[in-house]
Structure 1
Amino acid sequence: MKNIILTLALLIPFSGFAQEFPNLKSTRQDEDYSFLKNDTINKNWYKTMKFLPINESKSAYFSFGGDIRFQYFYAKNENWGNGDQDKDGYVLSRYLFHSDLHVGKYFRAFVQLQSSVVGGRIDPSPVDANPLEVHQAFADFNFINEKSKKLILRAGRQELSYGSQRLVALRDGPNNRQSFDGLKLMTGKENMSADFFFTHYVAARDGIFDDKSNQDRQFWGSYFVLNKVPLLKNIDVYYLGYKRAKANFDDATGKEIRHSMGTRIWGKSGNWRYDGEAVYQFGDVAEKNISAWTTSINGGYRFNSIKFHPEIGFKTELIRGDKTKDDSKLQTFNPLFPRGAYFGLASVIGPSNLIDIHPSISFEITKNIDWIIDYDMFWRYSGNDGIYAPNTSLIYPGNTTTKKKIGNQLETEIVWEPNPFLYFRLEATWFQAKDYIKASGMGKNIFFTGITTQIRF
């Protein structure tokens, strides 16, 4: 609580700049403050922090920023009552600070440090705890960097995020964001862009400055985005390759080489929004051939003429699970590097072997306050496969019962963003365990609640 009060006190001076800098992003490396080069009239200390020239022509400059987040969570019957239980809740603190150096039009270096600290949590995982690390450290070589076209080579430790973050995400929900070591070539021209990359996953360790490339987990691929497509608006087409030395599924264990081919159609039309995606996976795990897929539809309609502008949303996913035990095939879908909080911050299960139906409604209470309510219903896609965490670790095997119903989840949250620098969230989740969960473990209902305070500058 003392940390939260101190942070709020420090934030007061920033509120006056809210309208001047509305472009703070979750991916801080995508921010551009070069426009401040010509701002000589309204100079102040914050603008100096964002654009600090180091030569007379101002072609070379530093930019600094950060992100501080405090969270308190309480969970009753965590993991459906299995294992040790924390009766007092726990606190998560995350600190992200970066320095961004631009030298002319053709070179840029970006460094970001991350500290993720846990207090009061029983046996925290690397997703929660990572004391102090170099989260990102890369150099950009801008062969072409214009408004209408670009050709940029990025080398070093970096975040990867694509599409709706179903397969490649920042993992911003959990306390410790994820990154990769490698090379990425970014290209673009007018209404098309494409990335090509080859990386190793960065494995989090419990020491200071000891995170290293995980040679056992390679990740490569290409991602194309087409904008302003007639009728469809936007189309993503991608290939993702993944190699893991030690995979552990319900019906396969060993070396995994998996290829994912996918497409996504998304956009807005009037009051409607839509996002549809389909992915097919092939490859092998040990001696088993992979044949897995997923498809999802996520849409919504916003009533702008009604008070509070309610939006009705609907999402459904079919995510393949393994059909037959002890055969030569593995049909379990691997979500690769998804959002850690895939179905809400309670993060009960991950997107493998699932059927998910997810209606929701949201209200714009004021310009800066939103209220969201959603309801999720889960079934196993295959009664012969288990359920998995977001990182594909097996939670329960598939042979505990033939029942497929996992449970129902009701979640609500209130989000307040008074300006681009400040973010507050109050949330609560109730998960009702059903037949499969009750047959596989303690089977207790879960209640999860938390509060988040965040500043970006």
Structure 2
Amino acid sequence: MRTLVCLFLLLACYVKIFAQTIPPFNSIRFSEDYSFLKNDSLKNWYEKLKYNQLSKKGRAFISIGGEIRYQFFRFHHEDWGDAPDDNNGFILTRYLGHADFHAGKSFRTFVQLQSSLANDRISPSPVDENLLDLHQAFFDISIPINKANKIVVRLGRQEMAYGSQRLVALRDGPNNRQSFDAGKLIYSGERLKTDVFYAHFVKSKPAIFDDGFNKDTKFWGSYTVINHLSYIQNIDLYYLGIWKASAFFDDGEAKELRHSIGSRIWNNIKGFRYDIEGLYQFGKFGGKQINAWTVSINSGIKFNELKLKPELGIKAELISGDRFYDDKKLQTFNPLFPRGNYFGLAALIGPSNLLDLHPSVSLEITKKLLLNADYDAFWRFSENDGIYSPNVSLTYSGKNIPDKLIGQQYSTDIVYTANNFLYFRVEFTWFNAGSFLKAAGTGKDIIFTAFTTQLKF
């Protein structure tokens, strides 16, 4: 903790200098490009860290960066009263460090280490704690077609994120981000980008350098983004396939082969944004036929001319659940590899067998200080299916429980972005347990408080 505070203070001393030249960091760190510093002959020590020239002409260079995130969490009645209560809370700390080497415009390699620690956490899961491991290690070979188009071949361990990250995400909210051992072919043009990939999900393990190759979860597909279209402006088209040696739903456990076909239209113009997505899933779960689907809408309008620049948002989702137990079909939707904080940092509910309605409001107190408040109501879509956590593990079975109301979640958070490097967030969540939770378990209300501070460099 003392080291963390010292790093924060050290960076704060230099922030005015750095802010003049270094753009905001990306959530996907390997997408950052610091080659613009090539011709800067008066680089300070930090700029040299971001662009360290290795050849006379500057075609070869290496960039160093990282992240330190500190979080304090406290749950009252965790798991709606069915988990041991921890009155003192616990601390999650994540360290990320990377090196990005470029040799001209045709070759690059990116290596990143991750250490995720869970202090005072009762029985931490692999998502909470991974002492030290190789999080990413891949190389790119870039093949230019013309000035506007190129093909990139990427091989190795890598993060993947697509669209709104409802299906394939970085999993940045939880303490341990997720990655894949993958081969990927990327085509980039002026208005179109397509990824084709085959991957194995990297299963997180708690010890040091033990996240080996995982043959139990295979993942493949293609994802295309087309921009600047008439009327709808932007559209995503995708196919995603998954095979799991063992999958568990409320209707049983078996091998799973699932195909997902979907589309997303989205835009953000003049303060109005919309994101509409729908997809259909089919395949086999043991001897059962998969027939699942989801549709979602996420829209908002921001009044930039008003004081505090309020933004009103509304999200709603229909996510299929299994219709009958012990039949030859499975309608439970599998969200694949979604955001861990899908419905807030507390991460209480996952996107399977769900109907939710989620209005929100955001206020810009200052340019650096943002206040958010939201309400989320959850119901089971089908009474013959349970509820699931964000990683698709069954939280409560729905057998012999007709009640559909899961509960209502009230959340508020304050975000202070000091600069490109420092970020602070305080969050409070109250989950009012509904009739289903009271019938399925202890059914106590959850109160969750969290403090996050993050340094990127």
Task: Look up the match of 1:61.
Answer: 61
Q: Distance in 1 between matches of 2:269 and 2:19?
A: 30
Normalised TM-score (structure 2): 0.98
CA deviations 1:181-213 (Å, max 9, x no partner) are 010111011100000000001111121111012
Task: Look up the match of 1:34.
Answer: 35
Task: Look up the match of 2:161.
Answer: 161
1:146 Cα deviation from its structure 2 partner: 6.6
CA deviations 1:136-173 (Å, max 9, x no partner) are 00000111287621200000000000000000000000
1:427 Cα deviation from its structure 2 partner: 0.4
Q: Is residue 133 of structure 1 aligned with residue 133 of structure 2?
A: yes
Paired amino acid for 2:298: N
Task: Look up the match of 2:313.
Answer: 313
1:4 Cα deviation from its structure 2 partner: 4.7
Note the 1:197-216 alignment, pairs <5 A: 197-216=197-216
1:271 Cα deviation from its structure 2 partner: 2.2
Task: Look up the match of 1:25.
Answer: 26
Q: Distance in 2 between matches of 1:101 and 1:454?
A: 25
Q: Distance in 2 between matches of 1:454 and 1:266?
A: 29
Cα distance change, pair 14–145 in 1 and its aligned pair in 2 (3 A): farther
Local SS of the residue matching 2:131: strand
Q: Is residue 111 of structure 1 aligned with residue 111 of structure 2?
A: yes
Note the 1:117-266 alignment, pairs <5 A: 117-144=117-144, 148-266=148-266
Local SS of the residue matching 1:80: helix
Judge conservation of contact 1:300–1:314 (CA < 8 Å) in 2.
yes
Local SS of the residue matching 2:12: helix
Note the 1:389-400 alignment, pairs <5 A: 389-400=389-400
Q: Distance in 1 between matches of 2:115 and 2:269?
A: 41
Cα distance change, pair 274–135 in 1 and its aligned pair in 2 (3 A): same
Q: Distance in 2 between matches of 1:180 and 1:173?
A: 17
Matched residue pairs, number?
A: 456
Q: Distance in 2 between matches of 1:13 and 1:238?
A: 46
Q: Distance in 1 between matches of 2:142 and 2:250?
A: 46
Judge conservation of contact 1:280–1:294 (CA < 8 Å) in 2.
yes
Paired amino acid for 1:328: K
Judge conservation of contact 2:68–2:455 (CA < 8 Å) in 1.
yes
Q: Distance in 2 between matches of 1:163 and 1:145?
A: 25
Q: Distance in 2 between matches of 1:149 and 1:134?
A: 32
Q: Distance in 2 between matches of 1:202 and 1:62?
A: 26
Judge conservation of contact 2:114–2:132 (CA < 8 Å) in 1.
yes
Percent of pairs identical after alignment?
Answer: 54
Local SS of the residue matching 2:161: coil
Q: Distance in 1 between matches of 2:146 and 2:25?
A: 21
Paired amino acid for 1:238: Y
Q: Distance in 1 between matches of 2:162 and 2:50?
A: 27
Paired amino acid for 1:28: R
Q: Distance in 1 between matches of 2:125 and 2:419?
A: 33
Judge conservation of contact 1:433–1:444 (CA < 8 Å) in 2.
yes
CA deviations 1:366-389 (Å, max 9, x no partner) are 011110000000000001100001
Cα distance change, pair 138–146 in 1 and its aligned pair in 2 (3 A): farther
Cα distance change, pair 150–23 in 1 and its aligned pair in 2 (3 A): farther
CA RMSD of aligned residues (A): 1.1
Q: Is residue 278 of structure 1 aligned with residue 314 of structure 2?
A: no
Task: Look up the match of 1:93.
Answer: 93
1:2 Cα deviation from its structure 2 partner: 3.6
Task: Look up the match of 2:290.
Answer: 290
Q: Is residue 49 of structure 1 aligned with residue 61 of structure 2?
A: no
Paired amino acid for 1:30: S
Judge conservation of contact 1:201–1:218 (CA < 8 Å) in 2.
yes
Q: Deviating runs (4+, > 2 A) in structure 1?
A: 1-8
Q: Distance in 2 between matches of 1:405 and 1:351?
A: 15
Q: Distance in 2 between matches of 1:19 and 1:85?
A: 47
Q: Distance in 2 between matches of 1:249 and 1:211?
A: 25
Q: Distance in 1 between matches of 2:152 and 2:363?
A: 41
1:400 Cα deviation from its structure 2 partner: 4.2
Normalised TM-score (structure 1): 0.98
Cα distance change, pair 249–269 in 1 and its aligned pair in 2 (3 A): same
Q: Distance in 1 between matches of 2:442 and 2:45?
A: 56
Task: Look up the match of 2:372.
Answer: 372
Q: Is residue 423 of structure 1 aligned with residue 423 of structure 2?
A: yes
Judge conservation of contact 2:63–2:100 (CA < 8 Å) in 1.
yes
Judge conservation of contact 1:105–1:145 (CA < 8 Å) in 2.
no
1:269 Cα deviation from its structure 2 partner: 2.9
Local SS of the residue matching 2:373: strand
Moved more, 3-12 or 227-236: 3-12
Local SS of the residue matching 1:366: coil
1:3 Cα deviation from its structure 2 partner: 4.9
1:121 Cα deviation from its structure 2 partner: 0.5
CA deviations 1:393-439 (Å, max 9, x no partner) are 11111114101000000000011111111110000100000100000
Provide structure 1 residue ranges, at least 5 long, that are not aligned to the other structure. none
Task: Look up the match of 2:328.
Answer: 328
Paired amino acid for 1:372: N
1:19 Cα deviation from its structure 2 partner: 3.1
1:8 Cα deviation from its structure 2 partner: 2.2
Cα distance change, pair 272–93 in 1 and its aligned pair in 2 (3 A): same
Provide structure 2 residue ranges, at least 5 long, that are not aligned to the other structure. none
CA deviations 1:340-380 (Å, max 9, x no partner) are 11100111110000000000000011011110000000000
